[in-house]
Homo-oligomer: A and B are copies of this chain.
Amino acid sequence: MVVEAQVEDLADGVPLGVLDELAGYHLRRASHVMSTDFSRAMAGTGIRQVLFAILSIVANSPGINQGAAGRALAIQRANMVSLITELVEAGLIERRTAPDDRRAFALTVTPAGTEKIAECLHRIRAHEDRVFSGLSLAERAALIELLRRVEANAE
């Protein structure tokens, strides 16, 4: 046990020092590993992490406002504009003036968007299984639960 501790503190044979006890560092690293593998898994689909998140939330709340979708995903209004345009131009999302509020846009997923979500989901599930191959299903669920509680702490 003690012998292993020395090894766990190493990255590429180099000791991380205090860094190894900081959750923020590990969150950053693990997130980076995930993103990298996600991109690989999605190659050719034109879908990135943010785009899939938007598709998913719009599919679950048809007619949702651009701003509301962004808020739920912690994406700023200003940054939503080009992301939604990207999805609209790809034919995956429809953007219509909201019937009840002429300032807002009501978003819906097109049939092509629904198909795309299904296709991506297959790839994403395989990707997650790959990256989390070192964790049991229970551990993966525990990780998600812990992360949810960290998220809840945002302002």
A positions within 8 Å CB-CB of B: 8, 11-19, 21-36, 38, 49, 52-53, 56-57, 59-61, 64, 68-69, 71-74, 121, 124, 127-128, 130-135, 139-140, 142-144, 146-154
Contact A128 B74 (CB under 8 A): no
Contact in complex: A36, B128 (CB < 8 Å): no
Known: A53-B19, A60-B16. A35 touches B26 (CB 8 A): no
Given A135-B150, A150-B34: A71 and B21 within 8 A (CB)? no
Q: Assuming the A-B contacts A56-B17, A72-B16, are A23 and B154 also in contact, with contact meaning beta carbons closer than 8 angstroms in the complex?
A: no
Bound CA–CA A49/B132 (angstroms): 25
* Chain B residues whose CB sits within 8 angstroms of the CB of A25 once the complex forms: 49, 53
Residues of the B chain whose Cβ atoms lie less than 8 Å from the Cβ of A147 = 23, 26-27, 29-30, 143
Q: Are A150 and B128 in contact (CB under 8 A)?
A: no
Given contacts A16-B72, A28-B35, 5 further A-B contacts (CB under 8 A): A14-B69, A18-B60, A33-B153, A34-B150, A134-B152
Tell me which residues across on chain B come within 8 A of A153, comparing CB atoms.
33, 130-134
Q: Whole-angstrom distance between the alpha carbons of A94 and B152 in the complex?
A: 41
